[in-house]
Structure formats: structure tokens, C-alpha cells
């Protein structure tokens, strides 16, 4: 009985950290240079697609 209780306590203690680690990857921006629309280029400083300047 003591072993089962210890395992349950460890599982409940680690559960929030495991869930947070799995969900934190969703916040990473998936946009890259390959996903820029035609007429736009990747701006490394802004980490986003920006419209090409026209002259």
C-alpha cells in the first residue's frame, strides 16, 4: 500500500510539468521563409514575412 501511495504522489507531482512541456510547443511560431506569400520576403529581425518594397 505504501508503494502505491508513493507512486501516486510522484505521478500527481509530475503531471503539471509534463502537461506544460507538451503545450508550450504550441506557442512556437510555425511561420518560416517558405510560408511567405508571393510578393513577400522573410525578415529575420522581425521573424515575420514582410511585403517586398516596390519602386
Cα dihedral across residues 25, 29, 33, 35: positive or negative: positive
- Please give the residue range of the domain that contains residue 9: 2-51
Q: What's the pLDDT at 36?
A: 82
With 0.85 as the threshold, say if the pTM is over it.
no
- Can you say whether residue 39 is alpha, beta or left, with left for phi > 0 and alpha for psi between -120 and 50 degrees? left
Helix or strand holding residue 43 (H, E): strand 40-43
Regions in the chain scoring below 70 on pLDDT: 18-33, 55
Number of structural domains (the chain) is 1
Q: Name the burial class of residue 36, with classes exposed (0-12), middle (13-18) and buried (19+) by CB atoms within 10 angstroms of its CB.
A: middle
Amino acid at each position: 500500500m505504501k508503494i502505491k501511495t508513493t507512486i501516486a504522489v510522484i505521478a500527481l507531482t509530475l503531471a503539471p510539468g509534463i502537461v506544460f512541456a507538451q503545450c508550450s510547443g504550441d506557442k512556437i511560431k510555425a511561420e518560416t521563409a517558405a510560408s511567405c506569400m508571393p510578393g513577400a520576403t522573410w525578415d529575420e529581425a522581425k521573424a515575420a514575412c514582410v511585403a517586398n518594397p516596390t519602386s
